[in-house]
Structure 1
Amino acid sequence: MDTGGRPSAAQLILLGASSAVAAALYSVYRHKVQAARELKGAKKIHLGEDLKSILSDAPGKCVPYAVIEGAVRSVKETLNSQFVENCKGVIQRLTLQEHKMVWNRTTHLWNDCEKIIHQRTNTVPFDLVPHADGTGVAVRVLKPLDSADLGLETVYEKFHPTVQSFTDAIGHYISGERPKGIQETEEMLKVGAAVTGVGELVLDNSSICLRPPKQGLQYYLSSQDFDALLQRQESGVKLWKILTVVSGLAACATLLFILRRQYLHRRERQRMKQAREEFRLREAQLLRAASAEDRETLKNACAVCLSNVRSCVFLECGHVCSCGECYQALPEPKTCPVCRREIVRVVPLYDS
């Protein structure tokens, strides 16, 4: 249907959606760039005997964003693995995850679906100490669960498949959900594991603490070394940059498509306006040169061929401007030669 050159609702929705996605991805990309830049500028500090003197001389007895690398040492008690013997740690996470197949009514396919049905995390106080002998200066780690990258190691993983009877299988096909089983997982931060901590390093009385930084900086307790952690963050920045560029190009392509349709419609209107002007000038010239009897015939002449008598009424616009032969010769979809509206039906015109 002719919309008078205005963008359709679908085009406007597509443009708005693509622009919103591009803006959201750009916001995430900027956040990732800022986090990677701040991580790259963090101050590396060695866990040595001079650490207390460094913090004592620092403003406020703290380093706002510091990097330390050390081994995990429990303060008092440790956590024992529920499934692995002689496996001790300071952070333990137990997870029960349901796996099932869900019928997609749009694609008519079974899709894998995962859902965490239970998760529990246990922690005990722990320090970061030098890798060499585990003695000397110790840094107490505060609020480890606030870390954006908690380097837990999977120590146990087992999948318990669901046993189904024939009746259960029929019921699952009818309901559109087919259980596969339960996956049981145990993750731990082991005693003695190498950890890279990035956060606010502060001297509190006689103890040194690593805690979540202020001003929105990211807090890390990663099992990777600093170089690998930084490289992973920069790789994430590249991925978000590609997604942002692709979504931005999609939004620009949608906008250019709408603008091109606007341009073509305007050019078509100008062409039709020029054609109507030329027709009126030509008709006026013929009327001036014709006799009185011929003038009456020219007034009722077909606007297309200027020879046959107008014999068609176009609906819904109501224009009477064409003969039957020229109407049949109009290209599909047939539109009125005067207003370019779609011709829904034609009513023959008879002179009595």
Structure 2
Amino acid sequence: MVPFVLVSTELGNPTGVVHINVDKADQPLPLTTVFHKLIPLETTPYTLFQTIIGNGYPIALLDEEKILPIGKKITAIGLCQAKDAESVEITSCPEIPFFLSELTKDEMQAQLASRARILFWGSIVLGTLSVCLVGHAIYRGWTRIKLRREARHARQMFEEAEDAIHRDDSSDDDEIGDGQLCVVCLRKRRRAAFIPCGHLVCCSECALTIERTPHPLCPMCRQDIRYMMRVYDS
């Protein structure tokens, strides 16, 4: 048995709860509203019209009160210890999410199991999301490193191609066969191959011009070009 005192902080209990002084704190318990008498309102033409259209016949409350139901069972969960030689005191426990409750023992166990399942699956979902985010960050980092390497390699190839252009200007004075002419300018020898398709169809100057376009495409197969490579005769 746990001694307690019923207290109320507001006159008439308009909030619908009564406070029980247990565990050195006020624990609220809901009250039941009891209607003592119902009386009809004075009828008017408008009231009759409301009744006809189905809104019901209005009535007024003459008296009502809120009481703690007789025989209401409240379960107390907590730490029980002897206060002195004649009394026992029960206090709330931070590890248990119940103290004064209208639930039974089985209902409390079912609610705790439901919360445990929610926490378990929530932790799995959050863990999966965190792993996905870490994997996505690693993938983006690796992609950036790869793009930087390709850009550095492309700059090197670009510098080599520019040097090759100047050399081609002096070496292309000899007679060139039709099968060796650039397909773009039809004046200079084919010196540059496109990667990844590998077609050797342009001179170094035209290949650089194609490579600098927003969407470089091979003039032979129309495949995307990553960069161009200078080809040297043996």
**TM-score normalised by the shorter chain: which range applies?**
0.3 to 0.5
Decide which structure has the larger Cα Rg and report it: 2
TM-score w.r.t. structure 1 length?
0.34
Of structures 1 and 2, the one scoring higher in RCO (CA 8 A, sep 6+) is 1
Tell me the TM-score normalized by structure 2.
Answer: 0.48
